[in-house]
Amino acid sequence: MAGRFRWGIVGPGNIARKFGAGVQLSETSEVAVVGSRDLGRAEAFCVEFGGRAVGSYEAVLKAEDVDGVYIATPHHLHAELTIAAAQAGKHVLCEKPCALRSEDASSAIKACQDAGVLFCEAYLYRTHPLTAQVMEVVHSGRLGEIRHIAAEFAFGAADDWQNVRTVLEYGGGGLMDVGVYPVSYAMMVFGGEPERVSYLFKKSDAGFDGWATGSMIFEGGGTVSFGCGIHVQMENRVRIFGTQGMLEVSRPWDCTEGFRVKNHCSDDWEEIEGIRADRFGNEVDVFVRSLDHGFVATMTPDDSLAVMRTLDRLRADGGLVFPGDP
C-alpha cells in the first residue's frame, strides 16, 4: 500500500503499550487513533506513542484515518469488536484468544472474510523469525519423527490478585490467557488438531483455572504435555522430542533468545543463535505486508479456528465453564 499503514488501537492497556512501541519501530506503520472508554487513558497513550485520542471503541472503528485496528480489550469483547471493525471496513489484528468460543470466532472471521478485510490473531511468536528457525529444524528431519512436545506458559501472580484476567465472565484464567500459547505451538508443530485432549486444573474461588496441566494426542501418535497458570511460575519453555534428537527453546513466547539442539547419540548441545527482531514491530510489519495475500501465512484464520475448537474441547474435558456457554 502507498504510505504508512494507519493503526487504530482499541483498548490502550499494557499490551497495547508494547504494541504502540512496536509500531514506532516498524517500517510500515503509524498510530493514528486510540480509543478507550476512559478518554484520559487514551490521551496519555497518545502523548507517548502518537495519534489522537477518542473516548470510545466505536469512534476508532468509524475513523476515516484508520486503515486497520489492533484489538487489545479483555478477551470477551474480541469477537464482537472484530465483527464491528469488519463491518466498518477495517483490517483486524486481534489479541489472543480471538473469542471465548469457537462459534464466536467463526462468526468474527466470517465477518472479516465477507467484508474483504484481513484478519489475524496476534500470536507474537508465530510471526517472529525465531519460530521460523525452529520449524526449519523440525522440517529438516534432523530430530527424526516428532514424538512428544512439552511446553509451559505461566506466571505467579498472588492468589488475591485482581485483574481483568481473573474475571471468569471475561474468559479469565490460565488456559485462555497463557495456555493458548503452548496449545497453539504444539498444533503448529504437529500440523493439525489433536485427536484426544485432557485438562486438569485447580479452580479458584472465582471459578477460573488458577493453574493446570493438559495433554493432547495427535494422529500418528504424537503426544503433548503442557502446563499453564496465572498463580504459579513455570519454566516457560518448549521442548520438542524426536526419534533422532531433541530441541529446546528457552524463551519461545517473547523470542528473546536462541534455541539449542541435541542428537540422542551425543551429550553435547548445539546452541543456535536466534534472529533478532522486535516482536511487536515485526508483527506489525508482517501483518501489513500480508495485505496483498489476504492472510498472514504463519497464523491463518483456519489456524485460529482450529485452536479455538481445541480450547473448547479442553474446557469441556476439564469442566471449565464460562457464563454464556451453551
Indicate if the pLDDT at residue 33 is higher than 80. yes
Cα–Cα distances in angstroms (integers) from residue 97 to residues 274, 297, 314, in the given order: 26, 18, 14
Rounded to 10 degrees, the C-alpha dihedral 74/76/79/83 comes to -80
Residues 55 and 163 in one domain: no
Q: How many domains does the chain have?
A: 2
| Residue 114 · residue 85 · CB < 8 Å | no
pLDDT per position as a tens digit, 41-94: 999 999 999 999 999 999 999 999 999 999 999 999 999 999 999 999 999 999
Query: Mapped to the 3 state alphabet, what secondary structure does 31-61 carry?
Result: EEEEECCCHHHHHHHHHHHCCEEECCHHHHH
CA 174 to chain CA mean position, Å: 13
- pTM as predicted: 0.97
Contact (Cβ atoms closer than 8 angstroms) between residue 277 and residue 269? no
Domain final residue, candidates 60, 91, 123? 123
Of the residues 123, 155, 170, the one at which a domain ends: 123
The per-residue pLDDT for range 222-264, each reduced to its tens digit, is: 999 999 999 999 999 999 999 999 999 999 999 999 999 999 9
Could you give the CA distance from residue 124 to residue 197 in angstroms, rounded to a whole number? Answer: 25
DSSP reduced 3-state for 16 = helix
Percent of residues, the chain, with pLDDT higher than 70: 99
What pLDDT was estimated at residue 1?
A: 62
User: Residues 166, 250: one domain?
Assistant: yes
Instruction: Specify if 287 maps to a domain.
Output: no
Q: What share of the chain is helix, strand, coil (3-state, %, to 5)?
A: 40, 25, 35
Residue 48 contacts by C-beta under 8 Å, 6 or more apart in sequence? 17, 20
Give the model confidence (pLDDT) of 279-303 as tens digits. 999 999 999 999 998 999 999 999 9
Which residues form the domain of 103? 5-123
Q: In whole angstroms, how far apart are CA 315 and each of 37, 176, 190?
A: 31, 10, 21
